[in-house]
Amino acid sequence: MGAGDAFVEPVWERFPLITSNSYARRWIQSCASLGLAKNTVAAYMYAMEGFLSFARERSLDLRSTSQEAIAQYVGELRTQPRRLGASATRIDSGGLLSNATLQQRLTAVRLFFEFLVDEGLVRNNPVSRGRNTSSSRSGARSEQSLVQRFHKLPWIPTEEQWTALLAVVRDESRRNRCMLALAYDAALRREELCELRSSDLDPAHRLLRIRAETTKGRRERVVPYSDTSGQLLRDYLVQRRGLAKDRQALFLSESPRNQGAPITLWTWSKVIRSIALRANAPSFSTHTLRHLCLTDLARSGWQLHEIAKFAGHQSLETTRRSVDRGHRQASH
């Protein structure tokens, strides 16, 4: 783990099947000990709890799980309904698990069996990265994923949608306007924004330190913000003095019930959802401003590798997908 990382003990009582399975518990424990992000560990636990439920229903022995059993598991995943709230509007997967969720569930199971192989508990991993298929023309063999991967282009608001969003944002609190401005200026992910600390600010040079433990790639970066965001930040800090129960967290809850506590990811998601619905732009999300910033950087002439470094991307392909939608939209 890095110097800034802290070990987070998994919440075992929420996952009884993992807790009662020594292999699964040891694997999750190793993931946490290696310093994986707590959201990643939580996602792996949800995936493993589901797989263990599948295995229990079919009386499967994990040590002798076959590829056929994994195929049955994938088939069952494809029929599982998505758990969405009553106000959900996404219909891309027809009410079933999204492609990204399928990939995530299968990845967790594959990594678990890799752990069992490394520990000498099983000989082969039944969840291969792909399955061999032959070409009808050349006879050559290639890898085809068990679940075909789809990459959705990020949503970028039109001029009309952006105008509507700005009109709604004008009536938001100082905190929310400041957070929205910084999310755009610094292309921040939700976790990076909500977990900013006062000590991460460098107001003299208008810079933000994004700590490694809050990032997806576990790499620290320093990013600038605009003079407009600086003014919003100064206004918010004046208000924050009356809320500051927590001296470390930059953005604090304004709710009477949790006033002064660090803002949660869930609270910020609800703020964004409320803005999206009032602006009649339901696709607006906590990630939209990050994509919009990266798109604008590409439009202004930044090179792909420069944008990748600014965004904290480990892969240029990720950066390319982030800005591709903006290029297509600008060409119409």
Q: Residue ranges per domain, the chain?
A: 12-144, 159-331
Average pLDDT, integer, range 298-323: 82
> What value, to the nearest 5°, has the Cα angle with vertex 303 and ends 180 and 186?
15
More confident residue, 262 or 315: 262
pLDDT surpassing 70 at residue 137 = no
Out of 7-16, 116-125, 146-155, least confident range: 146-155
Q: Taking each helix axis from N to C terminus, what angle separates 38-57 and 22-33, rounded to the nearest 10 degrees?
A: 170
pLDDT surpassing 50 at residue 118 = yes
Average pLDDT, integer, range 69-94: 63
Tell me the CATH class for 12-144.
mainly alpha
Report the chain's C-alpha Rg in angstroms: 22
**Which pLDDT score is estimated for 153?**
63
Share in percent of the chain as helix, strand, coil (round to 5):
50, 5, 40
Q: DSSP characters for 74-134?
A: HHHHTTPBP---TT----TTTTB--HHHHHHHHHHHHHHHHHHHHTTS-SS-SS-SSEEEE
Average pLDDT, integer, range 197-216: 94
**Which pLDDT score is estimated for 8?**
60
Which pLDDT band holds residue 87 (cuts at 50, 70, 90)? very low
Which pLDDT band holds residue 63 (cuts at 50, 70, 90)? confident
Out of 75-84, 148-157, 275-284, least confident range: 148-157
Tokens of 135: 């070409």
Q: What does pTM read for this prediction? A: 0.59
**Which pLDDT score is estimated for 246?**
60
pLDDT surpassing 70 at residue 332 = no
pLDDT surpassing 70 at residue 132 = no
What's the CATH architecture for 159-331?
Answer: Orthogonal Bundle (1.10)
- For residues 307 and 269, give the distance between their C-alpha atoms in angstroms, rounded to a whole number: 25
pLDDT surpassing 90 at residue 304 = no
Share of residues in the chain with pLDDT > 90 (%): 47
pLDDT surpassing 50 at residue 134 = no
Average pLDDT, integer, range 168-175: 96
